[in-house]
Amino acid sequence: MPERRGATGSGPGTGARITRRGRTVALASAALLLTGGLALAGTWGIGSGDTTGERPPGATRPSPPPPWDRRPESIAAVGDSITQGFDACSLLADCSRASWVTGTDASVRSLAERLIENGPQKRSWNFAVSGSLMSDLPQQMERAAQERPDLVTVLAGANDACRPTVGQMTPVEDFRADFRAALHTLRESRPKAHVYVSSVPNLKRLWSEGRGDPWGERVWSLGICQSMLRDPMSATPAARERRQEVHERVMSYNSALKEECAKMLRCRYDGGAVFRYRFTKAELSRWDWFHPSKAGQRKLAELAYRGITARHEERPR
């Protein structure tokens, strides 16, 4: 049979013509694709922007989070009786030398002693006041800011739950607003300061640890945290409900501390470390079995040091 040339595109027949036409179409298509690609590149920033790291006009580069200062050179403390070392040395008296933040007692190894290498006493200030409520914190923050500290520690809120009655406990929204105001006060005066916020201790656990001690019960009856400690041995439904209400309020306070701290640059919450910690009797004051003893103050300093020097913020477990 005679060979049919051009059927496969190898000869000068119809197949060859089809191939040339295909090449023409292909070249035209490529040109269109190239033109279209350039148009898309101009529209979407492909190539010139994305491959070189440039950003489209009007776009803003996201700011990296500010670094957390793990080694501050100065510290100020705000808060209540816990930070003043109340009942750590003697009955119903402050003992600032035993403070977990600024104390000089060697057995405590305060936060200042752990963090500040040269002259911690000259680079640390304690503005906590025994009996303070969260509403007192903005004024304390204002005083602290005047010293221009690198770090401000906060341990406050126990007195907002420790009221004469459950009905007198600080409402959560008021507590939140006062804490927010305190942070704002510091930020306005000392925008680069870091803030470390300790959680409110578990008051119900402290009641459980100290109840049954005759001396402790007598001291409690003098007016210490009556919303939780009144009638410490009572197991009536009303007493259990009262203690649980205080416990839940403390948890709500801690949620507010965590949430408001998260809104502020350079603020770190302890992740509930103080609230979770099970203070032993040796770590509670032998005068009232409620406030931290020197051993308890040492534990607070240890927990805070761990949280401040951690590379990442501690998360609740």
65, two tokens: 């989070």
Q: What's the pLDDT at 201?
A: 98
CA distances from 43 to 34, 36, 51, 69 (A): 14, 10, 15, 43
Whether the CB-CB separation of 89 and 95 falls below 8 Å is answered with yes
Q: What's the pLDDT at 62?
A: 58
- Span 41-85, pLDDT tens digits: 333 332 333 333 344 555 566 555 558 989 999 999 999 999 999
Whether the CB-CB separation of 162 and 203 falls below 8 Å is answered with yes
Q: What's the pLDDT at 67?
A: 80
* Distance between CA atoms of residues 301 and 111, nearest Å: 5
Task: Show the low-confidence residues of the chain (pLDDT under 50).
Answer: 1-55, 315-317
Q: What is the largest CA-CA distance in the chain?
A: 124
Nearest to 95 by CA among 313, 296, 238: 296
Residue ranges of E strands in 124-282: 124-126, 151-155, 194-197, 267-269
Beta carbons within 8 Å of 303's beta carbon, 6+ residues apart:
198, 270, 273, 274, 277
The amino acid at 116: I
Residue 260: Cβ within 10 Å count: 21
* Distance between CA atoms of residues 296 and 300, nearest Å: 6
- Span 116-136, pLDDT tens digits: 988 888 999 999 999 999 999
Q: What's the pLDDT at 65?
A: 54
> Judging by DSSP bridges, how do beta strands 267-269 and 124-126 pair with one another?
unpaired
Angle of helix 203-210 versus helix 237-262 axis, rounded to 10:
140
Phi and psi at residue 168, to the nearest 5°:
-95, 0
Angle at 233 between CA 231 and CA 235, to 5 degrees: 95
DSSP 163: -
Q: What's the pLDDT at 311?
A: 85
127, two tokens: 């503005």
Q: What's the pLDDT at 60?
A: 60
What number of H helices and E strands is found in the chain? Answer: 11, 5
Residue 197 pairs in a beta bridge with 154, 269
Place of tokens 């203690």: 243
* Distance between CA atoms of residues 151 and 116, nearest Å: 11
